[in-house]
Structure 1
């Protein structure tokens, strides 16, 4: 009888300890997720491109007329702009993250404008 009781107490301690450990781990994962930078995607017409020595600033106007200005530092994306694979008045999809208060492009590609009507 005592061995069953000890087994029950040991099992209960193990289960509750495991539960607390899982809750603590889940809490840490949520905190890590909250600290990670969130990427934002905007789609629209590429209205302006301004090159500097090591970067470029582009302006994208979305379908609602809002303009978003973002900086490009990635050499691959800069090459696409310089080689005119992506140019003014192209419809683009742009994903960016905030770095020290500056929106910096992580992905830029040509996209298809939304189909209106039908």
Structure 2
């Protein structure tokens, strides 16, 4: 996605690292670059606002649920693979019925 306007920080870079920005997992200098970009680019600001709202909603609705240790381990392993640049298997992170039972509460 790009708004078509020239920016110091390209829209694709901002959107590729949006969750790092939302989670404050990037250096302050990069956060500042992103904030400047959002001031200039309404499509990226809109996407940021949407993702921020989804994140808040998930936290509010699911924030108190405990994640099964095995599932957390699988997800963290997948994240480590992605960050290291190693090939990631095409299959989804599998969830056992017991893990699913722990995640879904009626």
TM-score (norm 1): 0.22
Greater C-alpha Rg = 1
Task: Looking at secondary structure, tell me which structure has more helix per residue.
Answer: 2
Higher strand proportion (structure 1 or 2)? 1
TM-score, reference length from structure 2: 0.23
